Chains A and B, each alone.
Chain A
Amino acid sequence: MARVRFDKLRKVFGRDVVAVAGLDFEIADGSFVSLVGPSGCGKSTALRMIAGLEEPTSGRLLFDDRDVTGLEPRDRDIAMVFQSYALYPHMSVRENLEYGLRKRRVPAAERDQRVARIAAMLHIEPFLERKPRQLSGGQRQRVALGRALIRDPEVFLLDEPLSNLDAKLRVHMRAELATLHARVGTTMIYVTHDQLEAMTLSDRIVVMSQGVVQQIGPPEEVYARPANRFVAEFIGTPSMNLMAGELDEEGGKARFRRNGVTVPLPDSLTAAADARQVLLGIRPEDIRITADSGEATIPAQVAVAELAGAEKYIYLDVAGMQIIARTDADSPVRGGDRVGLHFRPDRLHLFDGTSDEAKAIRAG
């Protein structure tokens, strides 16, 4: 097991395609960290640099205090699960599992022992003599995990390992992965574009966009206090509602204004605000819908109410903008209704400007 430290790690492809613009953070020993972001954000390149499959343009990579920047993949003591599983097609499951041990000259008796242990742990004993093409997607996935686990590596890398599975199996394997990590306790670094996977599995999430880290933190924090507009929109489904408008003041109280709609802001938010152009953010579940459009509410019109099993998504029109609210499935709201909205004041987010990098405005 090891701590992984990125020291200004940077990767530029060709002359000026910046894949990773400088990673500078540390992953704690034994933790489960997800690199998450849209495709092309540099997360896979970052992972491949940890694996040694991609050479950094500059910067260093350290496992504990060992500089591994220039080491070959095989000298790093890492294991990796590929999106395609990358099982060796001409070898049986047993040979696939054993390959890394053979390369490291582990004696036959110990190899058998380890294969038996891993096979039992992942429930793949019945398939040991089969070839990968004779296995189902889920079984292949398990073998790929087994091949990585069997070596007992210092760092475990996973590159979108669940994305080739169907939805049901994906949820199942997600839970298995979490159990597995709790059991083996190895440092795991997980790359995904699926923010839900990142949220459910990780101790910490690293949100990346265009080669730059946008925010690092525990899932709850990244969700509750997104650092900028990009993170706010990327994390959470449906994503956070964002409304562009202006900061205003009335009677010493700050408020948000747009097209005649005003939202009073809590003091904690306005203390730090000095920008005039802002984005106001509110998550769908932090909006309460009331039937009457009273004094303290924001008037809105319901466009569509969508039932999604246990909950309902209400698409609303507020001052010419569409926003989404999430309610209980038994909410009586229907398309065409005029309603009043109440935003939970402690769950409001304010962003400085309207660009992707617009920083969250926080209390002093």
Chain B
Amino acid sequence: MTRSFRRSLAQGRTYLLVILLLLFVGFPLFWMLMSSGKLNSDIVRIPPVWIPFLPTLEHYEELFEVTQFGRWFLNSLLVCSLSTISAVTLGVLGAYSLSRLKVRGKELLGRSVLLAYMFPGVLLVIPLVLVFTRIGLMNSQVGLALAYLTFALPFVMWVMRDFLASVPVDLEEAAMIDGASRLEALRDVVLPQAFPGIIATGIFAFLFAWNEYLFAAVLVRSHDLQTLPPAMANFASAMDTRWGLIMAASTLATLPMAIAFAFVQKYLITGLGAGGVKG
């Protein structure tokens, strides 16, 4: 075997693996998109209808005309934005403190952040209900956003701590000598360096909240205030599962995240890379 032949063989193997992986990940998305455009009778037909001959928009129409999909979508957007913005703001400040300030027990604090992140949500939801009931945050979007901070904040802090640690201390010291306060140095010099990291962590924090079902289902009961995941779950019941509706709603719910990822792909790659490899 010549060397170039061996190399192209190895390359071919890599491509084959990537294609298989892509099929594995992409097929459910494809199926979702196709099913959302099929007539109800075609969705469950065997042998399956792969691509609808005459796509229909009836499920989408029903979504907006019969259900409150638009409202739930906005609810989701609101809650997730609120929790993400708070998590990033507080998390970056917290991570900065953990990476820079000389505080006693800093390491322990840092580790307990990770512990908080690993704590299963199921265990948190009952205490949260008790506390929220007492302080009147049950059935409130602010309350739900606050609940999302229980995982979003530790996540942001944990990831951003490494990002900020990789920004040279010299830079902010130079800024402080140049006349900046510590917060100004953070804003003017450190954050611009950590920007890709902030975008990447922000997107992930948003994604977690966007997909979150348990807290959303338990903490917000009223139909008007619900977010997408629990609302969409109502499309499936013991008696009747509205596959067309579920597929159409899922397609629309996936859209904002898909668009967001497409736009910030560049940051995501540099961001995650910078976090993984220090210096």
Scan residues 136-190 of chain B and give those whose CB is less than 8 A from a CB of chain A: 168, 170-171, 173-181, 184, 188-189
B171, B177, B179: the one within 8 Å of A51 (CB): B177
B176 touches A72 (CB 8 A): yes
Q: A89-B193, A90-B192, A103-B184 in contact; A74/B170 too (CB < 8 A)?
A: no
B29 to chain A, nearest CB (A): 37
Interface residues as binary, A57-73 with B (CB distance below 8 Å gives 1, 0 otherwise): 00000000000000011
B-contacting 9-mer, from A79-87, A248-256, A264-272, A318-326: A79-87
A53 touches B180 (CB 8 A): no
- Residues of B contacting A147 with CB < 8 Å? 174, 178
Q: A90-B193, A99-B188 in contact; A80/B180 too (CB < 8 A)?
A: no
Bound CA span A80–B176, Å: 10
Q: Which of A79, A83, A103 has the most CB of B within 10 A?
A: A103
Bound CA span A342–B216, Å: 93
A55 to chain B, nearest CB (A): 10
Interface residues as binary, A133-158 with B (CB distance below 8 Å gives 1, 0 otherwise): 00000000000000100010000000
- Residues of A contacting B181 with CB < 8 Å? 72, 74
B174, B180, B189: the one within 8 Å of A82 (CB): B174
B176, B184, B189: the one within 8 Å of A88 (CB): B189
A99 touches B175 (CB 8 A): yes
B179, B189, B192: the one within 8 Å of A74 (CB): B179
B193 touches A100 (CB 8 A): no
Bound CA span A83–B174, Å: 11
Bound CA span A88–B175, Å: 9
Residue pairs across A and B with CB atoms within 8 Å: the count is: 58
- Residues of A contacting B178 with CB < 8 Å? 74, 79, 99-100, 103, 147, 151
A74 touches B177 (CB 8 A): yes
Nearest chain-B residue to A100 (Cβ)? Answer: B178
A88 touches B171 (CB 8 A): yes
Nearest chain-A residue to B170 (Cβ)? Answer: A86
- Residues of A contacting B173 with CB < 8 Å? 51, 53, 73, 80, 82, 86
Nearest chain-B residue to A150 (Cβ)? Answer: B178
Scan residues 186-212 of chain B and give those whose CB is less than 8 A from a CB of chain A: 188-189, 192-193
Bound CA span A101–B193, Å: 21
Bound CA span A150–B177, Å: 13
In the complex, 27 of the A-B residue pairs with CB atoms within 8 angstroms, ordered by the A residue number, are A51-B173, A52-B177, A53-B173, A53-B176, A53-B177, A73-B173, A74-B176, A74-B177, A74-B178, A74-B180, A74-B181, A78-B177, A79-B177, A80-B173, A80-B174, A86-B173, A86-B174, A88-B188, A89-B171, A90-B193, A99-B188, A100-B178, A103-B178, A103-B180, A103-B184, A147-B174, A151-B178
Q: Which residues of B contact A (CB under 8 A)?
A: 168, 170-171, 173-181, 184, 188-189, 192-193
Kindly list 5 other residue pairs between chains A and B, CB separation below 8 angstroms, not including A51-B177, A52-B177, A90-B193.
Answer: A72-B181, A74-B177, A88-B171, A88-B174, A88-B175
